[in-house]
Amino acid sequence: MDGPGAGHVPERLIAACGLYCASCPTYAHGACAGCRALPEANRCHCACCVQRRGLLYCGQCADFPCDALLSGDKATSLSPRWLEWKRTQKSDDNT
């Protein structure tokens, strides 16, 4: 595919935590519309937090990955090991 928009992923398919919704079996089977389409009361921690902070994704936050993301039950679908690694990398960059 060439031209404008080639390789572009629609924003509605990128969850607030950064997960690609189309790679999720629940989304693929039609059991989930993605966090951006859910009513606020049904959104996960990430979706509520980025909306409150005026961001599109967790990764844009200065606090990423935060304690709530690392310790919250079902706060994100992202790998806890990757989040811990990311935190280590971030602290290494600041030294």
Q: Is residue 72 part of a domain?
A: yes
Q: Is residue 63 part of a domain?
A: yes
Q: Is residue 1 part of a domain?
A: no
- 15/40: higher pLDDT: 15
User: Hey, what are 85's tokens?
Assistant: 């690694």
Q: Is residue 3 part of a domain?
A: no
Contacts of 22 by beta carbon, 8 Å cutoff, 6+ apart: 13, 28
pLDDT at 74: 58
Q: Is residue 2 part of a domain?
A: no
Q: Is residue 6 part of a domain?
A: no
The predicted-structure confidence for 63-90, as pLDDT tens digits, reads as follows: 888 888 777 665 666 777 888 888 888 7
What's the pTM value of the predicted model, to 2 decimals? Answer: 0.66
Q: Is residue 30 part of a domain?
A: yes
Angle CA 87–35–69, to nearest 5: 20
The structural domain count of the chain equals 1
Domain membership of residue 66 as a residue range = 11-93
Q: Is residue 71 part of a domain?
A: yes
β-bridge mates for residue 14, sequence order = 20
Find out whether 16 and 57 touch, Cβ atoms under 8 Å.
yes
The predicted-structure confidence for 31-49, as pLDDT tens digits, reads as follows: 888 887 877 777 788 888 8
Amino acid in the structure at residue 75 = A
